[in-house]
Structure 1
Amino acid sequence: MTAAPEICIAAIDPGLTGAICFFFPALSDRVSVEDMPVVNGEVDVSILARRIRQLAPTFIVVEQVGPMPRDGCRQAFGLGTAYAAAKATVTLCTVPLHLVTPQVWKRHHRLIGADDPKEAGRALALRLFPASAEHFARKKDHNRSDAALIAAYAAAAITSGRAE
């Protein structure tokens, strides 16, 4: 009798200041989180693809982002380019891709309506993943915590078939 393969969920918070998280639900108190690889002001798809292939996730969840009314043209273009690069890289790595909007995963974690949603998300990541607290130690690590929380959402919702 062979053991079932271990599930690895990767989650990407796209953007040049975004992050990628690898989460093994069997080790639920820890995650591996890295800042988005960037070179010359663009996502380094070569390094991103290498990391995806090294850890061979079962599936990848990418936050489905769009421009915000307050974003300037340059910021919106940069975010859109990074989002497209993340999606294309996942597709070329032939890993199943799921998209999730910020509203869905934030509602799942009850972060909508928080006084400081970024800090609330970072605090939640610290509680959920105490063995990986060093990844979320600084206030500016909120993008890492977002990637980790997207992975936790995926573990709870997608693997159970309850994804929205």
Structure 2
Amino acid sequence: MLIIGIDPGISGSICFFDNGKILKVIEMPTMTDGKKNKKQVNGAQIFNEISNGIKNFEKKDVKVVIEQVSAMPGQGVTSMFNFGQSFGILKGICSAMQLSMYFVRPAKWKKYFNLINSEKDASRTRAIEIFPYFSSELSKKKDSNKADAILIASFFYETYKIADY
């Protein structure tokens, strides 16, 4: 079973995870939007990456797990709109590709890995502990988004059989 773990948003990541092993992790494809050079997710590139990632699997054996995000206190209206837009693009692409989607709240997967009330970078440390063979891909502080995508996929892989999704 191929699990695609997704940390949504402009600085998010996508992890391709097969039978407990990380196949590939990519940063969220983005593109420049408008005169102010703001970034937005690149839906066409996301489609291409997922299409390439699933080509050796039957659709019934692919599970997409997206972090269930919502508005957070203190974030601006514009950034929350952009975050929601990214989430919607991901849902739309996966729906159009007829892939099974599951949503997991951050508190649920973070509790599983004992990351509640920890620093953002703690997920990177935890991912390196669990997947030491992938540590070179998680060497920078900015790689915490890749670690989140890995842990989202790993959480689903480890709890999928017993969870009520």
User: TM-score surpassing 0.5?
Assistant: yes
| Corresponding position: 1:99 with 2:103 | yes
The structure-2 alpha-carbon separation of the partners of 1:150 and 1:163, relative to structure 1 and needing over 3 Å to count, comes to farther
2:25 matched residue in structure 1: 33
| Corresponding position: 1:129 with 2:135 | no
1:147 matched residue in structure 2: 149
Instruction: Using the TM superposition, give the Cα deviation of residue 111 of structure 1 relative to its aligned residue in structure 2, in angstroms.
Output: 0.4
Runs of 4 or more, structure 1, over 2 Å off, are: none
Query: What is the percentage of aligned positions where both structures have the same residue?
Result: 30
**Deviation digits for residues 40-69 of structure 1 (CA, Å, limit 9, x no counterpart):** 222111111111111216110001101101
Matches of 1:50 and 1:131 in 2, distance apart?
Answer: 26
Count of residues in Structure 1 that have an aligned counterpart in Structure 2:
153
| TM-score, scaled relative to structure 1 | 0.88
Output the amino acid matched with 2:9: G
Look up the SS of the partner of 1:69 in the other structure: coil
Look up the SS of the partner of 1:94 in the other structure: coil
Higher strand share: 2
Matches of 1:148 and 1:31 in 2, distance apart?
Answer: 10
2:45 matched residue in structure 1: 47
**Deviation digits for residues 124-147 of structure 1 (CA, Å, limit 9, x no counterpart):** 111111221122110111111000
Aligned CA RMSD, in angstroms, stands at 1.4
1:12 matched residue in structure 2: 6
* Runs (5+) with no aligned partner, structure 2: 33-38
| TM-score, scaled relative to structure 2 | 0.87
Matches of 2:72 and 2:79 in 1, distance apart?
Answer: 10
* Runs (5+) with no aligned partner, structure 1: 1-6
